Structure 1
């Protein structure tokens, strides 16, 4: 993994976090472009002639939609339909696919999938030799195109190859994700830093929250159906593919309308961020959900994602005694078939 402490002003500030001194990330106006080392994300590689067939039986996505241009969201479930991990699936070449996912879930997922890998003659490896950088702001697309020569006009698309890869992620401001070897990324970073403001990766995580995009961490594994993360509304579940582990439970919950919890956006005041797994209580003090992710916004308020009961709740809601207000999600809570999503783009 790239040692970001070698870069001017960069410093670790906790597990999978990097900040810069002074870190002005949350105060940046949207027209100002920023770059961030995404140390909380990593790459799990699946390599072999049977890689696509292998993943087709394990993931919620149509593996063939990862065709070198489309890069679908996906997830991996237990037999009971609970998520072990979620990720973005990329095709690198005919025998190589990458999963972009929280770094803390790479080793557990590798161990889980490794039980089945020999039957398909594939190998699984954590690509610790790669570095991931986020580019955010109104000039993100133009800056990345100038730097890499690549363009990705639509969310969840990819361009490039194993040398330099560019992804388009949704959010309230344009953003791109660059992946390259540590050596290549060091050169990219130096050039990008001359045109954009280096910030900590908390800013990227805030944009994920504002995009209504939640990632399974160690605190969440084996706890939620994919629909509880609104995964089918983001195009992360194919209801048209064949069987995969947990598929029957996931499909039954969808077609019978049995999803009793949903991902919601909330905002509250406070000086300390809630931690994943903290409870969300209703006005009667009854726990109605759990915090998934939280970050400070540009005004010093806490923005968070929480999985909440879909029942009508007594409000205001509260986290650790602090009242929360609901925020709009940037997408409709309805099924978005990934086949249609990628056919349109």
Structure 2
């Protein structure tokens, strides 16, 4: 377990070094992505940024991401930096058959901002998008509205932009505050530790609009669709609080009264009460049974998520955002 001093400052602005970007450009960029990703790529229209994921033929997630269209034949995937190279190498095997070029964007700066978002946008001469899941673009930056009780934005720009980043937090406490908002939003970004491990539904991806069940084939589509329509998903992402002063490791087991593993940690962060909140992939029976939960010896409790565990079609989500 990582022993980091608990601190959850109010979100101002913070460097988000855990994120990375993979750009896909070319005349066949949309066609290429359409055959690989769970998103209906045409929905990425320069305004709506659909959640998406990439799977193995067995339907296990290689990465989840947010898809933005930055220009004609130019798309950007935002994902964990631990998966950037592996996803790029995986997709390059298929991109060779299309007029599409993949570029890992290693010189981009990612800043998460709340109260200070407008000042940062003013420096970049770009508007802040209002609705969650939408973005704005300029020649030097893109800004994505993130979910959460606190209004927040992800700002992404080249490191040679004339932006004063000296005042931006670049510490674990600031990133912890951002991660806590992700957790409370029920949003988990896959990392290399659990790659090729979960079906998308196990991270509630269809409840977040991250899976199109109306598009054509993509790698892993048959397995993902079968699990949905046959009700075969027996594990779900759940939010949990634990009374501890140390962060659990990714993959740590949540156990019940009988010391039987019923879930595993995906992401965790300190909260303002001196404990930890986390998202864990749990056996769905846990929510139905009255049983105590424990994690590394500490008492754990289920917390609510801000959304229902039901299918949200990204096509309808796009209509509502553009309406």
Same fold (TM over 0.5): yes
User: Which of these residues, 284, 290, 310, is aligned with residue 334 of structure 1?
Assistant: 310
The structure-2 alpha-carbon separation of the partners of 1:287 and 1:24, relative to structure 1 and needing over 3 Å to count, comes to: closer
Q: Secondary structure at 2:187's aligned position in 1? A: coil
Aligned to 2:241, the other structure's residue is in SS state strand
The yes-or-no answer on 1:286 pairing with 2:260 is yes
Is contact 2:143-2:155 (8 Å) kept? yes
For 2:35, the equivalent position in structure 1 comes to: 57
Q: Whole-Å Cα distance in 1 between the matches of residues 301 and 6 of structure 2?
A: 25
User: How many aligned positions are there?
Assistant: 315
**How far does residue 188 in structure 1 lie from its aligned partner after superposition?**
4.1
Q: Is the 8 A contact 2:7 2:271 kept in 1?
A: no
Task: Indicate yes or no: 2:14 matched with 1:36.
Answer: yes
CA contact (8 A) 1:60 1:244 kept: yes
Q: What are the residue-to-residue correspondences of 1:15-94 with 2, within 5 Å?
A: 26-28=8-10, 33-94=11-72
* Per-residue deviation, residues 128-168 of structure 1 (Å, max 9, x unmatched): 011100002xx355445544431211111010134111100
1:317 to 278, 282, 293: 293
Cα offset, 1:313, TM superposition: 4.1
Mapped pair 1:183 → 2:165: no
What pairs up with 1:1-345 in 2 under 5 angstroms?
26-28=8-10, 33-136=11-114, 139=115, 142-148=118-124, 149-184=126-161, 187-190=163-166, 193=168, 200-311=174-285, 312-313=288-289, 315-345=291-321
Q: Could you tell me how far apart the structure 2 residues matched to 1:180 and 1:67 are?
A: 20
Q: CA deviation at 1:342?
A: 1.0
Query: CA separation in 2, counterparts of 1:202 and 1:96?
Result: 32
| SS of residue in 2 equivalent to 1:105 | helix
SS at match of 1:120: coil
* Counterpart-to-counterpart distance in 2, 1:260 and 1:223: 14
SS at match of 1:187: coil
Q: Does the residue aligned with 1:213 lie in a helix, a strand or coil?
A: coil
DSSP-derived class of the 1:201 partner:
helix
Task: Return the alpha-carbon distance in structure 1 between the equivalents of residues 252 and 289 of structure 2.
Answer: 18
Give me the whole-angstrom Cα distance separating, in 2, the residues matched to 1:79 and 1:318. Answer: 34
Partner of 1:6: none
* Cα distance change, pair 259–65 in 1 and its aligned pair in 2 (3 A): same
**Distance in 1 between the 2:194 and 2:57 partners?**
16
Separation in structure 2 between the aligned mates of residue 161 and residue 205 of structure 1, nearest angstrom = 27
In 2: Cα distance, 1:305 partner to 1:200 partner: 19
Structure 2: unaligned runs, 5 residues or longer: none
Instruction: Output the aligned Cα RMSD.
Output: 2.0
Asked whether the equivalents of residues 21 and 78 of structure 2 are also in contact (C-alpha less than 8 Å), the reply is yes
Which consecutive residues of structure 1, in runs of 5 or more, have no partner in the other structure?
Answer: 1-13
- SS state of the match for residue 206, structure 2? coil
